[in-house]
Amino acid sequence: MSERPTIGVRRLPHSHGLPLPAYATAGAAGMDVCAAVEETAFIESGRVALIPTGLVLEIPQGFEVQVRPRSGLALRHQIAVLNSPGTIDADYRGELQIILANLGPEPFGVRRGDRIAQLVVARVERALWAERHELSETERGEGGFGHSGR
């Protein structure tokens, strides 16, 4: 098993007293991250809000942190994470903020300390492009957009 990466974290003043991102269970792939709002932030139906976490990350080179929705918020309240999965790059040093969309019929309140998204740490490979006049043939060919379901 490979060594686990260490993510450096700096707390901004509005995150003090909140837990750092953490795995909820032994088998969890994602760590829950909390809202660092000062007071309840309401997201109206059909609207989007940028929710602060109060955390600045130092991600090792060769890794990214993916921001993904929480299934319970999606199922019970129709709250989605836009740009999902979002990518936090290793060279970004701004505050981690979560783009939440309210797809439900009612306003949704985000309270201080609410678990609003999950973070997944993933390895990143940097690829090279090789322009070619011809590409190899495959059985699938140009079939796409549901092609494999037929």
pLDDT at 25: 95
Other CB atoms within 10 A of residue 121 CB: 18
Which residues of the chain fall short of a pLDDT of 70? 1-2, 146-150
DSSP state at residue 132: -
What's the pTM value of the predicted model, to 2 decimals? 0.88
Query: Taking the domains of the chain in order of start, what are their residue ranges?
Result: 8-125
* Rg from Cα positions in the chain: 19
Superfamily of domain 8-125: Deoxyuridine triphosphatase (dUTPase) (2.70.40.10)
Tell me, what's the pLDDT at 141?
85
CA distance 58 to 27: 24
> How many CB atoms are located within 10 Å of the residue 35 CB?
23
